Amino acid sequence: MTPARRTVAPETGCFDRDGFTYIRALFSLEEVDALRAAVTPLFQQSDRAGVQGLLQHCSAVVEIARTPALIEALTDLAGTKPFAVRGILFDKNPDANWRVSWHQDLAIAVRERADIPGFGPWSVKGGVVHAHAPVSVLERMLTVRIHLDDADESNGALQVLPDSHRAGKLDGSATERKIEGTKPVTCTARAGDALVMRPLVLHASAPAVSPTHRRVIHIEYAVDELPEPLQWFERI
């Protein structure tokens, strides 16, 4: 699939303040249809509601991760050109209608473990080495969620707590204070829209009230290489 060459811009708002923004209609419905066709076989091969290693297993997703219009928009937000480092495919559906509690995305995927100060605890998920990264790495990363279906309250759209990314890593009590003191925003989207967020933004999702499909291509971007000998697992 060759993405359309066009200029897009993030939705107006304060990304630095809120920690999230939208790129509306990043992909056309025809492009979304092609993406659904490209990723559907991956779901059929998996017994879970998510597929890891997406940048290794789907060339169509690699193409969209490199879409010039998307990279240009992300460069404007990050202040420097980013590169994709991980891809995950999610599908909240009638057979996998899960709840996700409020959390920050702290773990990154790397090729091999190396005991570097600031990285850890370590884990292995699906055969891939993960480590909690220091704030200095996470606060410069971007996550892009490309919607392959409409998302709203009825099918468990993502919720975020604006401004929660600016306090670094939050422990349980700090998270509770943020939840109590901040009104959550439901990230409603149409198929083809992209949500851009900082990994440190607190986010959650409720089970779908009317579960059908809520498919999302989740792509993480970095602007820096990791300290040697650490390497991003899926860097493209």
Q: In whole angstroms, what is the distance from residue 172 CA to residue 179 CA?
A: 11
pLDDT tens, position by position, 175-222: 999 999 999 999 999 999 999 999 999 999 988 887 778 899 999 999
- Looking only at the bridges linking them, the beta strands covering 100-103 and 107-110 are unpaired
Judged on CB neighbours under 10 Å (0-12, 13-18, 19+), 180 is exposed
46 vs 171, more confident? 171
- Looking only at the bridges linking them, the beta strands covering 194-197 and 185-186 are unpaired
Cβ atoms within 10 Å of 193's Cβ, excluding its own = 21
> 3: pLDDT confidence band, cut at 50, 70 and 90?
very low
Cβ atoms within 10 Å of 55's Cβ, excluding its own = 21
Q: In whole angstroms, what is the distance from residue 134 CA to residue 112 CA?
A: 17
**Residue 46: pLDDT over 70:** no
Average pLDDT in the 25-32 region?
Answer: 95
- What one-letter code names the amino acid at 75? T
The 3-class secondary structure across the chain, one letter per residue, is CCCCCCCCCCCCCCHHHHCEEEECCCCCHHHHHHHHHHHHHHHHCCCCCEECCHHHHCHHHHHHHCCHHHHHHHHHHHCCCCEEEEEEEEEEECCECCCEEEECCCEEEECCCCCCCCCCCEEEECCEEEEECCHHHHCCCEEEEEECCCECHHHCCEEECCCCCCCCCCCHHHHHHHHHHCCCEECCECCCCEEEECCCCCEEECCCCCCCCEEEEEEEEECCCCCCCCCECCCC
Q: Which tokens sit at 220?
A: 């993480």
Q: How high is the pLDDT of residue 4?
A: 47
Give the CATH architecture of domain 15-222: Sandwich (2.60)
Q: In whole angstroms, what is the distance from residue 205 CA to residue 176 CA?
A: 16
pLDDT tens, position by position, 106-154: 999 999 999 999 999 999 988 899 999 999 999 999 999 999 999 999 8
User: Domain segments of the chain: what residues?
Assistant: 15-222
pLDDT tens, position by position, 56-80: 999 999 999 999 999 999 999 999 9
The answer to whether the CB of 25 falls within 8 A of the CB of 198 is no
**Residue 160: pLDDT over 80:** yes
Q: How high is the pLDDT of residue 47?
A: 56
Q: How high is the pLDDT of residue 209?
A: 84
Q: How high is the pLDDT of residue 12?
A: 57
Residues 6+ apart with CB under 8 A from 55: 61, 62, 65, 84, 86, 87, 219, 234, 236
pLDDT tens, position by position, 9-23: 777 568 999 999 999
Q: In whole angstroms, what is the distance from residue 22 CA to residue 173 CA?
A: 29
pLDDT tens, position by position, 87-107: 999 988 777 778 889 999 999
Lowest mean per-residue pLDDT among 15-19, 30-34, 48-52, 96-100: 48-52
Q: How high is the pLDDT of residue 49?
A: 61
